[in-house]
Structure 1
């Protein structure tokens, strides 16, 4: 264990990433302010911050059909920062369904479903507030690679999600959500990773704050 921790620390120093070995609790992570990172020559130390969480149990079963995404226990990271930040969010895991069905896996931000660059309500009103994204909830939820087909196979298929988004100062929560159309589905060995970097609003990076619907 000690050797593994040393390797982790060395890796963080090489890539200039402030890593945190997060536990199963959902306490809010405080990101140091830009002001506290000003160097002696007056420039800020533009470091990134990396956090990872694994799901609480090896297999998480979703049995209920709903328009609402169920949060996967353990795959939740909450952070607070006093300046805008660029988020690089990644999820990986295995999806397994015993019945041919359409299932959906998406990233949730502050309880909203992140689709395109919009934060949509996590309920049956997604199509009502974002009809420009699709003619039905299922059509909307399949965007950004959110669709996973169950095919009555005995093995799990990878169902990764990767997104970049900028968020304003404040407290934000990142979760992984699943919803199914036919019971049931298992998520196996899921992991959520979030990397945060200081974002200068004067820098053009081709992203804007997500639209909240």
Structure 2
């Protein structure tokens, strides 16, 4: 008896369906993946159309980020590498995940991130040179990886990134009363939970400007709502001009849940136009002797 084969085909959609899906995402705040299901459009088509700045993207390659956003991510990776930090695929995906969440795109799963990473490497193959991952035993913490260029003292390293997405005033521009105050910048707050001691290396760089004459600004990191002695950096932003400021800190914290804040203390109204916080966490072999002193947070 002859067999009949029926070839399955994808559901067809019209340009009108596609426009309705894009309008639902933009105006009704519908998640892209839900709009794809509602209008029976492949989700990758939706993602690629949302990031329609990619003219050379291959079919089926997921973008998640626009070309401008990916360019910014490449800038972050290059800065880590200039800071002599080996960037591995795991490290890049960890930093990208932080960035995607920061942009409010929480509908992407880890599987989508993996597909996107392969597309990223194709699109930026001439600009990105990464170090290979070395597989670790299963850990409770995402993005754990061993620095393949390090010695046996290091068990694992973790990389994270925070940034200021829009200009930030240290005080209300209309309510300044002349007193010296401390301000935490919410965009730069970092929290991490770990079961072994970790060495925190923090690098901040940014630009700010004063709204009054003769302003002085102190910047520092606060650990679990505590300051570290002699950790201040003094800057004097010039009125009407951008001043570049930076700060580096290195602290060894015990196991537990920790919060790092970037704080500004200023004698006048300061606006921070741009700021980046690079975070490198290092876990040492428990049998090694590092001569590092744990910070007492009691």
TM-score w.r.t. the length of structure 1 is 0.65
Deviation at 1:191, TM superposition (A): 1.2
- What value does the CA root-mean-square deviation take over the aligned residues? 3.5
- Structure 2 CA distance for aligned equivalents of residues 46 and 192 of structure 1: 24
The CA deviation at 1:208 is 1.1
Residues 86/151 of structure 1: CA separation in 2 closer, same or farther (3 Å cut): same
- Alpha-carbon spacing, 1:44–1:102, altered in 2? closer, same or farther (3 Å): closer
The residue number in structure 2 matching 1:140 is none
User: Structure 1 CA distance, aligned partners of 2:279 and 2:201?
Assistant: 6
Corresponding position: 1:70 with 2:183: yes
Paired position in structure 1 for 2:226: 112
For 1:77-96, list aligned pairs within 5 A. 77-96=190-209
Equivalents in 2 of 1:104, 1:14: separation in Å? 36
Choose from 168, 173, 181 the match for 1:60. 168
Q: Is the 8 A contact 2:208 2:274 kept in 1?
A: no
Which among 244, 248, 273 is matched to residue 162 of structure 1?
248
Q: How many equivalent residue pairs?
A: 169
- Matched with 1:13 is 88
Q: Pick from 212, 236, 246: which aligns with 1:149?
A: 236
**Greater RCO between the two (CA within 8 Å, min separation 6)?**
1
Which ranges of structure 1 fall in alignment gaps of 5 or more residues? 26-30, 38-42, 117-143
Conserved? CA contact 1:101–1:150, under 8 Å: yes
Distance 1:150 1:80, change over 3 A: same
The structure with the greater share of residues assigned to helix is 2
Looking at structure 2, the residues matched to 90 and 81 of structure 1 have their Cα atoms a distance apart, in angstroms, of 20
**TM-score normalised to the size of structure 2?**
0.48
Name the larger-Rg structure.
2
- Report the CA distance between 1:20 and its aligned residue: 3.2
> Where does the alignment leave 5 or more consecutive residues of structure 2 unmatched?
1-50, 52-62, 78-85, 104-138, 146-151
Matches within 5 A, 1:194-213: 194-200=279-285, 203-212=288-297
Match of 2:156 in 1: 47
Contact 1:85–1:197 (8 Å) recurs in 2: yes
Residues 66 and 78 of structure 1, relative CA distance in 2, 3 Å threshold? farther
Q: Is the 1:78–1:171 Cα contact (8 Å) retained in structure 2?
A: yes
**CA deviation after TM superposition for structure 1 residue 61, in Å:** 0.7
